Every structure is written in structure tokens, then in C-alpha cells.
Structure 1
């Protein structure tokens, strides 16, 4: 059985997930948490294989911080987000913070176990509606700052060096990076060079 931690601030939602998992014969809910602090305590005290996390916990960014903290506290625990948000920017930010799967609450309930199965098998998995949103063609151009950020990312310099060169904070750099990923329909920073080549972006570096 795959030992599962449920992290959601609504008890009725956790109960629904428990019933779903019990019916699979593959997943066993060994712990529940209503907030990030309790989730971190749970993985310290119990053996957990996968955490199913709602982004909307006890603060606007609590779910993102929990994803990041789980990578440090319990790196072997797989992380799957289940959220009402299907905006590509939110999805990409969750993946950037360490999510290995993402399911919107609008998706069919069977998709949750499908995404979990794929994550357990070693994939980065998204529910079908989220995948379509990210892959939707983007018809708008890049701002000058986004072009500068793209050049920096393609240089393979570390984020701090890119931010210093652009005269912005690392947090602002990450915001521009997320915007780039969404506009270009890229699932990861590693995909940006290919997309830039395919679209003929940044063929020549501007004069300084």
C-alpha cells in the first residue's frame, strides 16, 4: 500500500479523498493535516510515500511554502497538488516549488488516482484540464524585461547572477521567469532554449 498524507483545511474534503483512496486498494491514508505546520510534523513522525496538498491553507502562499519545505524536510515524499486553481502561472509556480503532480478540483475524480499513479511511477503528471491550459498556444509577445530575462536564463548563469546583471531581485526574476514559461507554453526552464530556437527569438543580442 502507498502511504498517503492528506493536507487540506476542510475536513469534509479530506474525508472524500479518504473514501476514494480506500476504494483503490493501492493507497492508504496514514495521516491528515489541516495546515502546513501539521503536515511537516506528520512527515517527521510517520513514514509517508506521497503527500496530497491543497495550495489554499493557512495563508496565501502556505501551500507553495509547504512544497518547498517538504523537499528539504522529507525529500523522499512525493508531492501532488490538488487545487481549485488551474491558471497556468499557478501551476508552473507549484511545479517550480517542487510539486510532481497537479490536479485541478474541476477535473474528474478518477484523474486524481491516475496522476498519483503516474507520479509514483516517476513522472511529472498533470490532470487533463491543467495540461490543456499550459499547452494552449500563446498569442502575445514578450516585454523587454521578459526578453532580458530570457537571455539571462539561456546564458545558464545562476539566478542570483542573472538578477544582479538585470538590477532586480531574485524574487522579481522568478516572477518574470514564470511569465515567460506561461507565454511560451514551456513546462520547464530546460525547455526554453528549444522554444526560443523554434520561434526565432533573440537571434541577435542587442547592443549594450
Structure 2
């Protein structure tokens, strides 16, 4: 039996999903939550196999934040994102947060059941058009000599420092702006350049331009 918890801020959506899933194909709905904070508390108590997680929840923690914290709290629990956002940025962020799958609310019921079974078995699941998009993006990056997936591997702080270095700020200026030490800036800079396999500042600037990070406003 696969034990599932449903997380969505709309009570009608939660009720519909619970009625759809409970008792189907060896699935058992063991709990529900209306926001990320409640999801974390309930997951700690119920230890579900799969958490079906909405992204946009206006109250409490959003789905991305809750996913990241839940995976630290319960690494053996799989998170399947169920959302209306057919957006590459959300997809990458969800995967980076630790989600095992990403499916749209517009998907057929059978596809949702399949996705739950996939992630419950320890596999990854992406809706078909997302898989095509990721493969296309991967092939484009290979063609352009860009290491696929490396930008997504950067932390938010590393991305921030990448942009500022490319804009010409010195380590000291970056440290003052971000209220961190120069040594910390140097460490982040070294790490991000290693991850991106960049050797010089001109290489870094070119990379930042490709990623649209050179905003001087």
C-alpha cells in the first residue's frame, strides 16, 4: 500500500484528489494539508510514502520551500509536484528542491496515478512535454558547448555573486553589498567557477550574458 498525503490550499481540490486516489491501485490517502507549514507537521507525524504537493499556496510556506524542508526532514518520502504552472523555471526549481516528479493539474487521472506509482517506487516522473523540453534544452546546451544542468546546480548566493562579478564589482564591493566577508565571496566565486568550468573573468562575463544576468538597474 502506498501512503499518500495531499497538500493544496483549496479544500475542494484536496477533497477531489482524495476521493480520486484513495483505494485506487494500492493507494491510501493518510492525510491532507492546506499549506507548507501544515504539510511539514503532518508529514512528520504520518510518514507518508508520497506527498502530492501544490506549488502556489498563499498562506504559510509555498510548495517549493516546503519540498526542500520536507526532503531534509524525511528523505525517504517522495514529493510529487502537482501544479498548474507549465513553466521551465518552476520545473528546475522543484527538481533542485528535491521533488521526485512534476505533473500538471490538467493531466488525465490515469497519468496522475502512474506518476504516483513511479515516484513511490523511487523513480522520477516528468509530464511528457516537460521531458521533451528538458531534452531539447540539454541538446542545445551540448551544441553550444555549455555544460547541461550546471547553472541549476548553483546556489542562489552563487548565482547572485556570479552576476555581480560579471557586472564588474570587486570582491570587497560584493562583500559590502551582501553583508558577508570578502573571504566568503572568494569562496563562493571559486566554487561557482569550478562548477561552471570557467577559468577567467571574460569567460564568466560571457556566461552571465548568456544567462541574462547582466542587469545593471
What TM bracket, shorter-length normalisation?
0.5 to 0.7
> Corresponding residue for 2:8?
8
Equivalent runs, 1:20-169 vs 2, <5 Å: 20-58=20-58, 62-136=62-136, 153=150, 167=165
Query: Post-superposition shift, 1:60?
Result: 9.9
Tell me how far apart the structure 1 counterparts of residues 11 and 154 of structure 2 sit (CA, whole Å): 45
Question: Structure 1 residues 159 and 88, CA, compared in 2 at 3 Å: closer, same or farther?
Answer: closer
For structure 2, list consecutive stretches of 5 or more residues without a partner in the other structure.
166-173, 179-184, 204-217
**1:92-117 CA distances to partner (integer Å, 9 max, x unpaired)?**
11000110011011222211111111
Query: Post-superposition shift, 1:31?
Result: 0.6
Cα-Cα RMSD: 3.9
* TM score, norm. by length of structure 1: 0.67
For structure 1, list consecutive stretches of 5 or more residues without a partner in the other structure.
142-146, 178-189, 194-201
Return the index of the structure with the highest Cα Rg: 2
Tell me how far apart the structure 1 counterparts of residues 74 and 139 of structure 2 sit (CA, whole Å): 40
Query: Post-superposition shift, 1:88?
Result: 1.3
Alpha-carbon contact 2:67-2:98 (below 8 Å) kept = yes
Question: Structure 1 residues 72 and 86, CA, compared in 2 at 3 Å: closer, same or farther?
Answer: same
* TM score, norm. by length of structure 2: 0.64
Alpha-carbon contact 1:81-1:99 (below 8 Å) kept = yes
Give secondary structure in 1 for the equivalent of 2:56. coil
**1:35-91 CA distances to partner (integer Å, 9 max, x unpaired)?**
111111101222311100000112597111001110122212111100001111111
**1:111-144 CA distances to partner (integer Å, 9 max, x unpaired)?**
1111111112221111223323333458989xxx
Question: Structure 1 residues 133 and 160, CA, compared in 2 at 3 Å: closer, same or farther?
Answer: closer
Question: Structure 1 residues 161 and 87, CA, compared in 2 at 3 Å: closer, same or farther?
Answer: closer
Tell me how far apart the structure 1 counterparts of residues 55 and 154 of structure 2 sit (CA, whole Å): 30
Tell me how far apart the structure 2 counterparts of residues 162 and 104 of structure 1 sit (CA, whole Å): 28
